[in-house]
Amino acid sequence: MDFSTPIDDRTLAALKRDCRRTQEKVYRTYARSAWTLAVRLSGSEAAAWDAVQNGFVKAFERVAQLERADRFGAWLRRIVVNQVMDAGRRALDPLPEHYDAGVDAPDHDGALDLVRAFGQLDALDRAVLWLHDVEGLTHAEIADTLARSVPWSKTRLSRARAKARDLLHPHYEPTRRALPHGQ
């Protein structure tokens, strides 16, 4: 399951009544996606678990504010991102060299290189790159989630991709065709 998995109106109503069984069901539906997002953004499994736990607590406390059941996944994703970013304002560490991608990445050198490169990006670069390229958020959604502007999101994504490319292929030089003057 992922954040695009909707909940129905009955589930939302039960969450608003503080039904523990429904909370557990919703947690089980979204926990893996929330943890994957949090660990990729934070670079720390411990920080990810804290963000997920705090995110679900906040979501269940504030669910009365949510009017449409079909928006729950996107709303929860934003809460988890905010939890990670709030913790990140205090200090975000890169993924450790020995980080085990587990089932999230195939077992080959390219995937491990990608995990290492991703872990070497700073927190905001990781956030924008992950939210756009993996979670599929638009620049407007990223800007809204991170309290920034759309141009900031576009610029940050471009720079994050360039940094990741440099980390993956340090000696890569794109070929550029020089056009004669006047063409």
Q: Where are the domains of the chain?
A: 1-91, 94-171
How many CB atoms within 10 Å of residue 52?
A: 26
In the prediction, which pLDDT does 105 show? Answer: 45
Question: Which tens digits make up the pLDDT trace of 96-115?
Answer: 555 454 444 444 455 556 67
- CATH code for the domain defined by 1-91: 1.10.1740.10
The token pair at 155 is 């610029």
- CATH code for the domain defined by 94-171: 1.10.10.10
156 vs 87, higher pLDDT: 156
pTM here? 0.65
Q: Which of 106, 129, 123 is nearest to 44 (CA)?
A: 123
3-state secondary structure the chain: CCCCCCCCHHHHHHHHCCCHHHHHHHHHHHHHHHHHHHHHHHCCHHHHHHHHHHHHHHHHHHHHHCCCHHHHHHHHHHHHHHHHHHHHCCCCCCCCCCCCCHHHCCCCHHHHHHHHHHHHCCHHHHHHHHHHHHCCCCHHHHHHHCCCCHHHHHHHHHHHHHHHHHHHCCCCCCCCCCCCCCC
pLDDT level of residue 177 (50, 70, 90 thresholds): low
Q: Which of 67, 69, 90, 71 is nearest to 79 (CA)?
A: 71
Average pLDDT along the chain = 81
Question: Which tens digits make up the pLDDT trace of 30-73?
Answer: 999 999 999 888 888 888 999 999 999 999 999 999 999 999 99
State CA 24 to chain mean position distance.
22
Q: Which of 29, 25, 16 is nearest to 60 (CA)?
A: 16
In the prediction, which pLDDT does 119 show? Answer: 77
Say if CB 73 and CB 4 are below 8 A apart: yes
